[in-house]
Amino acid sequence: MTGVVLSIGSNVGDSLGHLRSVAAALGPRMVAASAVYSSAPWGGVEQQDFLNAVIIAEDPHTDPRQWLAFARECESAADRVRVQRWGPRSLDVDLVVCRDSDGGDIVGDDPELLLPHPRAHRRAFVLMPWLAVEPDAELTVAGARRPVGEWLAGLGEEERSSVSATEMRLETDR
């Protein structure tokens, strides 16, 4: 089995609908989903705030490349257009961490599939919702494995305060 931690975000069109489309596409593979968070845009491009969430999913028949294909299919279904790095987007689905059948992190250095995500430890909009659904989560960066809460605590106050939980949820039947 492989598991995945997905970070999803949107700030174009029906953002909540785009996020919910990922949960719907996962179906029973979705193990947990965070609340939806609102966050200031990251990367210096002027644009409206994002809605973000983290989903944890598992599937015994899905490997990291297949999770990547799934992410791209979801983005395509939401008419994602890659025009500007860190720019506005209808849907962004990032693989933060993939895990093997024993729960160990899978490491990948292919430029198309870097695992774990190389910038997740610097992004409160990833760490805060992840910590909410997996309080014991750990992330390895440059050989250093630390609890996600420690990575989050190491971010500046401005980064942390730019992210806040909302009352919105991905699951529509709960």
User: Which pLDDT value is given to residue 171?
Assistant: 83
Report the candidate in 148, 173, 170 with the shortest Cα–Cα distance to residue 33: 170
Domain-located, residue 172: no
User: Which pLDDT value is given to residue 113?
Assistant: 83
Domain-located, residue 173: no
Q: Give the total number of structural domains in the chain.
A: 1
Domain-located, residue 8: yes
What CATH number should be reported for the domain holding residue 123?
3.30.70.560
Domain-located, residue 46: yes
Residue 88, C-beta contacts closer than 8 angstroms, at least 6 positions apart: 11, 12, 45, 47, 48
Domain-located, residue 174: no
What's the domain range around 114?
Answer: 2-166
Instruction: Give tens-digit pLDDT for 118-147.
Output: 899 999 999 999 999 999 999 998 889 999
- What is the reported pTM? 0.92
User: Which residue's entry shows tokens 């292919």?
Assistant: 110
User: Which pLDDT value is given to residue 106?
Assistant: 81
